[in-house]
């Protein structure tokens, strides 16, 4: 997000437009947390994870009173349009605000889950999967040395993008996803056979899998397979931080420039996306309400490659 903030600010300045940052998202919009941004304000942030503007959820913004306060603050601070970086919740708020007040928004997809419709990639996904993959590689070394079974839980409450990509790239024997039904009995049979052959095993579990999280699944396996020693690693928020990858930095720059230029051309209520390596735009409401399905080919590959 920092790389994207930098791109938005410097693009606006290049077109002689003044820019303000709103700290803590919609909550800050209501509470008047506006700060002027210039080129120096965004120096040396392209390599930093997170966001210098901070982020927060805002239940108040979803009320008529909260939205009215936000509108008054935008007017008071001479804001003509907003570039909103976030996920479906951010975009739903922007759509509703635009519906009430006709205020221009451009959305930029920022979520490690990569589950927003209308773009092949979201900001943060590439960094998250590479961070996760590094951890999996390290654990795989330990698993191989001890002929041990590891359950590794990755983020993905509603979607399995991170689990699917890192599971394939990390050579996992099993990948458990929210989008597919987990057959515990079948998995146990596979694990039992691998144990008999003295093989180490890596199982990647998306936190939203229907059979439960990694701890619960590991307990189910333990109760069925005597003598099968396993370890559980929950990567958690490790996946959300760290230096962004080159791909994410370039993507952020492309999205930021496109967002500002779209507003200058009278485009609003759209999300910037990347389709087939080309910047594109999609209706903001459609992006917020349509779930991006997993690649069925990649799901098929998991069965072949494992």
- Residue 192: in which H helix or E strand, if any? helix 184-196
Q: How far apart, in whole angstroms, are the C-alpha atoms of residue 222 and residue 191?
A: 11
113 is catalytic: yes
Cβ-based burial of 125 (10 A; exposed 0-12, middle 13-18, buried ≥19): buried
Cα separation values, 305 from 150, 172, 177, 246, Å: 18, 9, 16, 28
- Residue pair 131/149 in contact (Cβ under 8 Å)? The answer is no
- Residue pair 9/40 in contact (Cβ under 8 Å)? The answer is no
Q: How far apart, in whole angstroms, are the C-alpha atoms of residue 173 and residue 300?
A: 13
Nearest to 108 by CA among 242, 239, 247, 258: 258
Catalytic residue (one of 27, 88, 113, 209): 113
- Residue pair 146/198 in contact (Cβ under 8 Å)? The answer is no
Order of strands, sheet of 201-206, starting from the edge strand that comes earlier in the sequence: 174-176, 201-206, 149-154, 230-234
Measured at the alpha carbon of residue 264, what is the angle toward residues 260 and 265, in degrees to the nearest 5? 115
- Residue pair 46/52 in contact (Cβ under 8 Å)? The answer is no
Active site residues: 113
């Amino acid at each position: 997000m920092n790389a994207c903030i930098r791109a938005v600010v410097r693009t606006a300045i290049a077109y002689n437009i003044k820019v303000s940052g709103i700290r803590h998202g919609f909550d800050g919009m209501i509470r008047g947390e506006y700060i002027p941004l210039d080129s120096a304000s965004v120096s040396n942030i392209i390599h930093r994870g997170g966001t210098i503007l901070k982020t927060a959820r805002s239940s108040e913004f979803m009320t008529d009173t909260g939205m009215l306060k936000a509108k008054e603050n935008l007017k008071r601070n001479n804001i003509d349009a907003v570039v909103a970086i976030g996920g479906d919740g951010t975009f739903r708020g922007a759509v509703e605000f635009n519906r009430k007040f006709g205020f221009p928004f451009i959305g930029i997809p920022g979520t490690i889950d990569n589950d927003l419709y209308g773009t092949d990639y979201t900001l943060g996904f590439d960094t998250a999967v590479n961070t996760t993959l590094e951890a999996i590689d390290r654990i795989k070394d330990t698993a191989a040395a001890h002929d041990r079974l590891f359950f590794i839980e990755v983020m993905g409450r509603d979607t399995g993008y991170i689990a699917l990509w890192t599971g394939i790239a990390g050579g996992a024997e099993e990948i458990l996803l929210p989008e597919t039904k987990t057959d515990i009995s079948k998995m146990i049979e596979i694990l039992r056979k691998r144990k008999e052959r003295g093989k180490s095993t890596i199982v990647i579990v998306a936190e939203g899998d229907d059979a439960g999280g990694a701890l619960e699944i590991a307990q189910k396996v333990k109760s069925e397979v005597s003598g099968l020693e396993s370890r559980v690693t929950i990567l958690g928020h490790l996946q959300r931080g760290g230096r962004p990858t080159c791909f994410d930095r370039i993507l952020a720059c492309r999205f930021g420039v496109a967002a500002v230029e779209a507003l200058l051309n009278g485009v609003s209520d759209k999300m910037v996306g990347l389709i087939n390596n080309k910047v594109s735009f999609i209706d903001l409401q459609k992006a917020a309400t349509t779930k991006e399905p997993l690649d069925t080919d990649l799901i098929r590959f998991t069965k072949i490659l494992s």
